[in-house]
Amino acid sequence: MSMLTPPGMGGKYRITGDKYPRMRRGRPRSRIVLAVVASVAAIGLISWGTLQLVHVFTGGDKASAAGPGPAHCTTSPSASPSAARAADPKKLPAPAQITVNVFNATPRSGLAKETADELKKRGFKIGDVGNATKAYDKKVKGTGILLGATKATDAALPVLGTQLTGAELKADTRDKLTEVDLILGTQFKNLTPKADADKALTALTHPKPAPSSSPSCA
């Protein structure tokens, strides 16, 4: 009989040998709780990630019971109030209101008169015609100089400037706003062709409105 056999028990209930069953400790409740919490957290993360993917591919909060929101938005040009005001004709003097004094600062003779005659045909009034003063004679390197009163730099001078591309605008102390000087430089050949000058004058006095972009969603 083994030492492990209780007294009074024998036969088939007798325990023999030197081996005996080992009893395992039960798992602590804290481990079970932690396992449950971890499982719930994992399921929550998976559900949240799935929901985010659904929002990305279906338009998210923009979707409504009526269906997904606009798929594409484009911009189309439209005239803004400020652009419309810019399209109003500028209050600039007409060529017939401008008196032009034409002076030749080049070595070529007769150039001032030829130019004055052409400006007269284009509607300008002609004042003095002759050679430039010593301050400008043989000293104007470009096509020419447009000289007038300070306030004429945004009035009579740009109107005359449409007739001679590349001319330099300068101001002096004169009082007459509609009397300007055209001093021909050494690079002067001819006035701007009349058709091009007329287009430039129209663009100056009647500028087109600048388009502004407005969204258009389909």
Rounded CA gap, 195 and 189, in Å? Answer: 17
What is the pLDDT, as a whole number, of residue 85? 46
What is the pLDDT, as a whole number, of residue 55? 54
User: Collapsing DSSP states into helix, strand and coil, what is residue 141?
Assistant: coil
Instruction: Copy the structure tokens of residue 80.
Output: 């803004």
- Does 87 have pLDDT greater than 60? no
What is the pLDDT, as a whole number, of residue 202? 93
Q: What is the mean pLDDT of the segment spanning 88-110?
A: 91
Asked whether the beta carbons of 207 and 87 are under 8 A apart, the reply is yes
Q: Any bridge partners for residue 211, and if so which?
A: 79
Please indicate whether residue 159 or residue 25 has the higher confidence score (pLDDT). 159
Asked whether the beta carbons of 165 and 143 are under 8 A apart, the reply is yes
Rounded CA gap, 31 and 151, in Å? Answer: 92
CA atoms within 13 A of residue 132's CA, in its CB half-sphere? 24
Spacing of C-alpha 155 from chain mean position: 30
Residue 82's region, left for phi above 0, alpha for psi from -120 to 50, else beta, is: alpha
pLDDT in tens, 155-165: 999 999 999 99
Please indicate whether residue 62 or residue 102 has the higher confidence score (pLDDT). 102
State pTM to two decimals: 0.57
Q: Where are the beta strands (DSSP E) in 132-202?
A: 144-149, 168-172, 179-184
